[in-house]
Amino acid sequence: MSADRYLAVAGPRELREGEVSLADPGAGRVTVDITYTGICGTDVHGYTDGHMLPPAVFGHEWTGSISAVGEGVQGLRAGQRVVGGVGSACGRCPQCVAGHARNCDTVFAEANGVDADAPDYGAFATRVQVSARRVIPVPESLSDVEAALVEPTTVTFHAVRRVAAEYGATTVVQGAGPIGLLTAQNARNAGAGPMIISEPSPARRALAGRLGFAHVVEPADLRTALDELTAGLGADLVYECTGVPSLLQPSAELVRRGGTLALLGYPLENSSISYGDWQSRELTVIGSLAYHHEDFVGAIRGIAAGRIDVAALHTATFGLSSLRDVLEELDSGRSEHTKVLIDPKRDGRA
């Protein structure tokens, strides 16, 4: 049996290459040959920080084909294309027993790579073995690149679903990286009204325009554009997708009295806010992290129907040996890339 290769975080800005010979999957598990793994902002932060990520999370946006199925697995077969996801609510954890299945502890643990069945490394690898709960079949109509972008699409589908904004809501999306652009598309599908996207990168602003968004501005021009659009009232809804700690209070100040601030970006430092401002303006603040199984179903359907363009976000594919250099570039703040994929079977860049 040939050894499978993987890369894992070994310390701040350090990667460790490992090799493992995977045995046949045990009961309830499957082996997946990885086709592509997307690089997420979480992966970049985990690499630079060196210790914040559970091992299975470093390389969590993946697609591949099942190569082996363990005993007792139903509905999955060798050769089937799948993406990494989460299972349905377990029905047994404290949240489920209390009637809060949408906050299932088992699903939350799976989404964050800390469940008992989590693999010892993520999918910056040639193959992974995971619980059959964690794999979700994708339709043949999706390309491999589209399948590789299902996971971040699902993150944003979940956020928009949680917000459940009123039809026609005046919306601001801060950040036109992958999460911001996918949030904007999901919000548009959910009936958002006039929308402004704020982004400092000219390349990403141009991409937002190609995706059909008319109001795309530099951050310095956002307040003026919003005042013009709303006659100074403010946005009904702001999606904060950057995770920049210093933007939390300024983001809240874009929201009209009685409006909603939705948090998708994940800061690594504490933020300062004006408690009195939020309270006196009766803001609704909705946090969002990861997803549920049904969010994957909805996201896949949206991509398959052509309502969400994920392929446009893909700007480059690299081999596994290039991962360190790509992470450094993405962390520099000077990268022109939107979404980079890793192909573990190839070296170099395509």
Active site amino acids:
42, 45
**Mapped to the 3 state alphabet, what secondary structure does the chain carry?**
CCCEEEEEEEECCEEEEEEECCCCCCCCEEEEEEEEEECCHHHHHHHHHCCCCCHHHCCCEEEEEEEEECCCCCCCCCCCEEEECCCCCCCCCHHHHCCCHHHCHHHHHHHCCCCCCCCCCCCCECEEEEEHHHEEECCCCCCHHHHHCHHHHHHHHHHHHHHCCCCCCCEEEECCCHHHHHHHHHHHHCCCCCEEEECCCHHHHHHHHHCCCCEEECHHHHHHHHHHHHCCCCEEEEEECCCCHHHHHHHHCCEEEEEEEEECCCCCCCCCCCHHHHHHCCCEEEECCCCCHHHHHHHHHHHHCCCCCCHHHEEEEEEHHHHHHHHHHHHHCCCCCCEEEEECCCCCEC
Return d(Cα 192, Cα 185) in angstroms, integer.
9
Return d(Cα 205, Cα 276) in angstroms, integer.
34
Contacts of 132 (CB under 8 A, 6+ apart): 28, 29, 30, 69, 70, 73, 76
Q: Are strands 29-38 and 127-131 parallel, antiparallel or unpaired?
A: antiparallel
CA distances to 149, 208, 335 from 128, in Å: 18, 34, 29
Do 76 and 66 meet the contact criterion of CB atoms below 8 Å apart? yes
